[in-house]
Amino acid sequence: MHKFYGRRRGRRLNALRSAALEDDLPRYAAILPENCHSGSVDPAAFFPEKNYSAYWLEIGFGNGEHLAEQAQRNPEIGMIGCEPFINGVSKLLTEITAQSLENIRIWPEDARILMDALRPACLDKVFLLHPDPWPKKRHRGRRFIQTETLDVLARLMRKGAELRLATDDAALADWMLEKTWRHPEFDFQAECADDWRLRPEDWPETRYGQKQLAGKPVYFRFLKL
C-alpha cells in the first residue's frame, strides 16, 4: 500500500474547470479493469479505438502543459499522465478539449498504483519533471526517485526506452542523478555538461519551467538497458 504525500486540491475551481472534471474526465480517464492483477494491464487498453505505435508516461504533470504539447507534436503516441492534484487535472482537461487531443489519458491518483498494474516492457518514454524536492532530511523518503521506484520503472520500460528527469533544486538533482546513475538498468546520456544543462529542442518548455530558470535547472536523460 502506497502512502501519498501532497495536496489533492488547491483554490476553488471556476465553472469551466469544474465542468471539465464532471463532463470530460470520465472520457479521458485511464481506468483499470476490476480485480486486475499486478503487472497485467496493457496501456493500449486505455485507448480501445486507437492503435498507437508507442506509449509514453508522465508522472506528476502539474498543469499539463508539457503533456499537452507532447501529445500535439506526437499524435501517433498514446500519452498517459498521472496527477493527483485535481486543479492540474482540470486544467489539462480544458486543453485536451480545446486542442482535440485524443491521444491523452489521465490517471488522477498516485502514479505508483498505475505503475504496479501495468505490464512489463510497455513504455517507450517516461517523464518526471520538476517533482516536489522534499528538502527536509526527514522527508527524503517521500521523493519519487528511489531505488524501489526505479526498479518498477525498469520493469515497465522497453529496452532503449528513455527516462527524462528535470529539476531546478540542486539537492534533488544530486539525489536523482546518484540514484539513477547507480541503478544497473539505466545509462546516463550525457557526454558534456551542456547535455544536462541545456533543455533539448524536443523538450517543450512550460510556464513552471520558465520560472525555474534562475535556479539553474538540469535536464537528465537515461536509457533503459
- Nearest Cα residue to 210 out of 17, 62, 12: 62
Residue 12 domain-assigned? no
Phi/psi of residue 96, nearest 5 degrees:
-60, -45
Domain span holding position 158 = 36-224
Angstrom distance (rounded) from CA 153 to CA 46: 19
The burial of 214, by beta-carbon neighbours within 10 Å (0-12 exposed, 13-18 middle, 19 or more buried), is given as: exposed
Are 118 and 43 spatial neighbours (Cβ–Cβ below 8 Å)?
yes
- Per residue of the chain (225 residues), give pLDDT as tens: 554 344 455 566 666 667 667 788 999 999 998 888 899 999 999 999 899 999 999 999 999 999 999 999 999 999 999 999 888 899 999 999 999 999 999 999 999 999 999 999 999 999 999 999 999 989 999 999 999 999 999 999 999 999 999 999 999 999 999 999 999 999 999 988 888 988 888 888 766 656 555 568 899 999 999
14 found inside a domain: no
Distance CA 170, CA 57 (A): 25
Number of domains in the chain: 1
Burial of residue 178 (CB within 10 Å: 0-12, 13-18, 19+) is exposed
Q: Is residue 120 part of a domain?
A: yes
The CATH number assigned to the domain holding 188 equals 3.40.50.150
Identify any residues that bridge with 127 across adjacent strands, giving them in sequence order: 58, 164
What's the count of helices (H) and strands (E) in the chain, helices before strands?
9, 7
23 CB-near residues (< 8 Å, 6+ apart): none
Q: What is the pTM of this model?
A: 0.91
Could you tell me if residue 19 is inside a domain? Answer: no
d(CA 190, CA 211): 25
Any domain includes 29: no
Q: Which set of grid coordinates corresponds to residue 162?
A: 528513455
Pick the catalytic residue: 110, 116, 124, 132?
Answer: 132
187 is catalytic: no
Residue 63 in domain: yes
Query: Which amino acid appears at position 115 of this protein?
Result: M
